[in-house]
Homo-oligomer: A and B are copies of this chain.
Amino acid sequence: MPMTPFAPPTRVLMGPGPSDVHERVRLALARDTIGHLDPEFITLMDQIMGGLREVFCTDYQLTMPISAPGSAGQEAAIVNLLEPGDTFIACVNGVFGGRMAVMAERAGAKVVKVEQQWGRAIDVEALRDALKQNPTTKLVGFVHAETSTGVLSDAQAIAAVAQEFGALTLADTVTSLGGVPVKIQEWGIDAAYSGTQKCLSCPPGLSPVTFGPRAREAMDARKIPVQSWFLDLSLLTGYWSGAKRAYHHTAPVNALYGLHESLVMLLEEGLEAAWKRHSDTHLKLVEGLESLGLHMAVPAGERTPQLNAVMVPDGVDEAGVRAQLLQRHNLEIGAGLGPMAGKIWRIGLMGQSCTQRHVDLCIGALGEALNA
């Protein structure tokens, strides 16, 4: 059968990402492609770096998008900051903290895990104990907003403890960036990575990263080259901010148009306004879910507003409800992962998907499905 053009359905995206993409961003993707060494493209790169610094609340010079999805940004941070034999503490309270540990093992690091029950925030005192027992720890990694469970951990407290012991801090801000305060520099976080398809409401495919001076010193002091050529920040820096803009790889030009436009939109709204919108809309969603008799999976106070984990009631067909929402309402919500599979739904309120209209649609559709 010959290939014919693909016509995607128009979904409402309330899963764990991607979130709804505004027409402005979609149309930006369709702008004329220019070369990755074009002088105009360099202007675009500079503006994206500036916009990302605003969004990460930092003036770290080394702030840019990695040309691949969030997990590549995660790997970039880990393989550049760690060398074989280094000690890495991974705070693990869900899928993405666990992934940090796996990546660090593959980078040859000695990995110590500070494990926390899924659905709860990282225990800062447990981290302190691990640091006491591993005083030469080079790097502490944690997930700010755990996409697999909807938990927000205290990034500032984690960074403070790490700093007390002279360790660097790496924050996964894939789901948090743009949805809750992420104050990289004020909180003393040395490195962070994110994704475009959550609260930035861009299609997936890019991973904004930021590295502060202590992280850069650690990278400059490396004894062996980074195992990945593609993700080697010493080479990427030459392209993104070197005086010569030395060719490294071919940057994903049109995807970067989309990220640029999404940053324009977020900064037009203002970061604080966006954080408030996420927080307010989350409270409305929780109210609606509870009015249906549903229970949140995460204790109040540890919830991240942009990703809401809700318990599947006993006897309800978890996948059946999701399928019905998709078929009848074109509404996507997420399933649980790992030990949470079958037990929770994950309802995203990220970026453009974070409006009262989304809450109303979701509560209406879920109510219909549960009462069927």
Contact = CB atoms under 8 A, between A and B. Distances in A.
Q: How many copies does the complex hold?
A: 2
Contacts of A50: 3
B32 A9 contact: yes
A8 B257 contact: yes
A29 interface: yes
B250 A204 contact: yes
B18 A230 contact: no
Please tell me the size bucket of the interface on A.
35 or more
A234 to B, nearest CB: 13
A244 B17 CA distance: 19
Interface string A19-43: 0110010111111111111111101
Given A18-B253, A67-B205, A264-B3, A230 B11 contact: no
A72 B263 CA distance: 26
Contacts of A106: 225-229
Contacts of A99: 229
A170 to B, nearest CB: 15
Contact of A68 (B74, B230, B326): B230
Contact of A33 (B7, B20, B34, B255): B20
Most chain B CB within 10 A, of A33, A40, A261, is at: A33
A292 interface: no
A363 interface: no
